[in-house]
Amino acid sequence: MLIEKRKKSKLSFKKKFNLVIHHPSLLKNIIQGKSRDEIRTEANKLGQQQILQQYKKESRKDISSLKKTSYSTGINYKPNLN
């Protein structure tokens, strides 16, 4: 029975540089010499966290703008009743 060794694929310098620019916390993984798959999964996790933070920030901004504008009524304001 042959045991195949999984070859650790390395990232090119350009890809490492771009990853570190977008996610500085990945520098630790690159220095430790982790495999490409491990670095990519960590980068994907960080990307998802950033997206969630952006969604939360946008929703807070939308809610605050709704609070500011929903209560301002003009002199000629007539609510429409269905």
Q: Return the pLDDT at 61.
A: 92
Residue 57 lies in a domain: yes
Residue 79 lies in a domain: no
Give the predicted TM-score (pTM) of the model: 0.56
Residue 77 lies in a domain: no
pLDDT at 5 over 60: no
pLDDT, tens only, 19-77: 788 888 888 888 888 888 888 899 899 989 999 999 999 999 998 888 777 665 566 76
Residue 46 lies in a domain: yes
Q: Return the pLDDT at 74.
A: 62
- What DSSP string runs through 13-68? HHHHHHHHHH-GGGHHHHHTT--HHHHHHHHHHHHHHHHHHHHHHHHHHHHHHHHH
Residue 71 lies in a domain: no
Domain count, the chain: 1
Residue 72 lies in a domain: no
Q: Return the pLDDT at 72.
A: 54
